[in-house]
């Protein structure tokens, strides 16, 4: 039997589900872990490329090199055709994403014991909001990248529909389900009638996810310690562009140029409080942006359970710590959460043509469903629905494996 796989290439984390004669199973992609942080680290000292947790660890351990995260965010943007400095040379973003996809493919092939040519790739409902042309271009880019890594038969499935497959496997009754997939880069929804058959009633999505929540929290906390929203000597507000870039995972590396450094030094000399901008310069000069972002992400995760968290930035700048509260996080992401919930409501009411009380189950998946306040907001919008949590990090991959089995598996399993 020829092997096949489903790949959930995520903004923050990725996973692979392999199907072959032994059946369907999630692939150990880093040690025994079945999820892999979507990160690459080019280690200039060892001249090797690290992936996932190892990539982040090497960066935080202080190895000289270049960390890349949230590469999925590049798809559908103008950046996909550009190059970025990696050591003495430059690499284009297609090849960087390709390296990561190739690594996932290699892990699956190692488990299968033979090459894999058939794949179902997950995709958000919208790579790009409100731009169908850019959305189609993003899918075409991802298809081309997958083909370049040796995949020959490539199909796509919306990520929330894949999660629904995973949920429907164990369903023994008919019900209306709203799949809520809040990932690192997008929030996606599917309304389905599941049970004896699968009927897709509506799909919707918005380009807001966990990395956006990181950005909002960073701007309201860490970036304030670097001069964001402070004033210049002239009384004008400090320009915010560089801070927005430093707070966004996929834009941090664009700050490490002489042109940007020159611009920040000029702002430093014009700043009313130069202690803050001096720390900003220190972060850029030591290329500590990803370390700051990692601690903000850790704070966001910790605040799902704790009322407060002390973010320790001392490895970036001596003496720099900040207490971040759950209230600060919820305030920071309030408008984003409202947009996400509004998209879910519109998916049910406008696209599916159903009243909110017709939804019987909210199937929640994606790491960002753990965001404080999000569950409460969704329950308020759909008060009649019960909550059901799938595996936050692997439900989509498992569903993509089921989709791959239906498309590429043994004849008796194939969809007609």
Which CATH number characterizes residue 203's domain? Answer: 3.30.420.40
- Co-location of 264 and 377 in the same domain: no
**Could you tell me the sign of the dihedral formed by the alpha carbons of 224, 75, 298, 312, in that order?**
negative
- 157 and 169 share a domain? no
Q: Do you know the residue count of the chain?
A: 416
User: pLDDT, tens digit, for every residue of 170-196?
Assistant: 777 899 999 999 999 999 999 999 987
> Does one domain contain both 326 and 367?
no
What does the pLDDT read at residue 168? 87
pLDDT along the chain (416 residues), means of 10: 95 96 96 96 96 94 92 88 88 95 98 97 91 92 97 97 87 91 94 89 95 97 97 96 95 92 96 96 94 96 96 95 97 97 97 96 92 94 94 91 92 42
Q: What is the pLDDT of residue 412?
A: 40
For residues 93 and 120, membership in a common domain is answered with yes
Q: Which residues have C-beta within 8 Å of that of residue 338, sequence separation ≥ 6?
A: 377
- Which tens digit of pLDDT belongs to each residue from 1-58? 899 999 999 999 999 999 999 999 999 999 999 999 999 999 999 999 999 999 999 9
Quote the pLDDT of residue 414.
Answer: 46
Look up tokens 């040690």; give the residue. Answer: 31
The reply to whether 122 and 248 lie within a common domain is: no
The count of domains in the chain is 3
Domain that holds residue 38: 4-162+395-413
Interaxial angle between packed helices 210-220 and 289-302, expressed in degrees from 0 to 180 and rounded to the nearest 10: 100
The pLDDT score that the predictor gives to residue 410 is 65
pTM of the model: 0.90
Query: Does residue 101 sit in the same domain as residue 36?
Result: yes
Q: What is the pLDDT of residue 129?
A: 84
Shared-domain flag, residues 371 and 399: no
Q: 294 and 237 in one domain?
A: yes
Q: What is the pLDDT of residue 34?
A: 97
Cα distance between the two ends of the chain: 19
């Amino acid at each position: 039997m020829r092997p096949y796989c489903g790949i959930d290439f995520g903004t923050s984390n990725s996973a692979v589900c392999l199907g072959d004669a032994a059946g369907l199973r999630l692939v150990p992609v880093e040690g025994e872990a079945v999820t892999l942080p979507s990160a690459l680290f080019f280690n200039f000292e060892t001249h090797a490329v690290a992936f996932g947790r190892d990539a982040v660890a090497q960066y935080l351990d202080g190895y000289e090199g270049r960390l890349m995260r949230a590469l999925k965010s590049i798809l559908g943007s103008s950046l996909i055709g550009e190059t970025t400095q990696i050591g003495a040379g430059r690499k284009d973003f297609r090849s960087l994403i390709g390296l990561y996809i190739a690594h996932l493919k290699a892990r699956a092939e190692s488990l299968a014991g033979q090459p894999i040519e058939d794949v179902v790739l997950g995709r958000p409902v919208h790579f790009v909001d409100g731009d169908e042309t850019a959305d189609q271009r993003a899918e075409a880019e991802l298809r081309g990248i997958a083909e370049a890594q040796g995949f020959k038969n490539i199909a796509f499935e919306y990520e929330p529909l894949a999660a629904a497959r995973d949920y429907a496997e164990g369903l023994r009754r008919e019900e209306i389900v709203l799949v809520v997939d809040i990932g690192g880069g997008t929030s996606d929804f599917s309304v389905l009638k599941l049970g004896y058959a699968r009927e897709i009633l509506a799909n919707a999505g918005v380009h807001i996810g966990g990395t956006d929540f990181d950005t909002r929290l960073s701007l309201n906390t860490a970036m304030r310690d670097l001069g964001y929203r402070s004033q210049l000597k002239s009384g004008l507000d400090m320009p915010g562009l560089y801070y927005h870039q430093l707070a966004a995972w996929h834009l941090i590396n664009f700050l490490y140029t002489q042109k940007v450094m020159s611009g920040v030094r000029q702002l430093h000399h014009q700043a009313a409080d130069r202690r803050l901008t001096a720390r900003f310069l220190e972060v850029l000069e030591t290329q500590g942006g990803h370390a700051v972002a990692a601690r903000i992400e850790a704070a966001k995760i910790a605040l799902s359970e704790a009322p407060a968290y002390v973010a320790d930035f001392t490895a970036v700048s001596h003496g720099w710590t900040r207490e971040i509260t759950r209230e600060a996080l919820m305030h920071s992401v309030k408008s984003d959460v409202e947009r996400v919930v509004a998209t879910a409501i519109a998916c049910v009411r406008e696209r599916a043509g159903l009243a909110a009380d017709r939804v019987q189950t909210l199937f929640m998946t994606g790491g960002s469903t753990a965001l404080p306040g999000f569950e409460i907001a969704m329950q308020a919008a759909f008060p009649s629905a019960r909550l059901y949590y799938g595996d936050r990090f692997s439900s989509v991959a498992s569903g993509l494996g089921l989709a791959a089995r239906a498309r590429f598996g043994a004849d008796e399993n194939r969809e007609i």
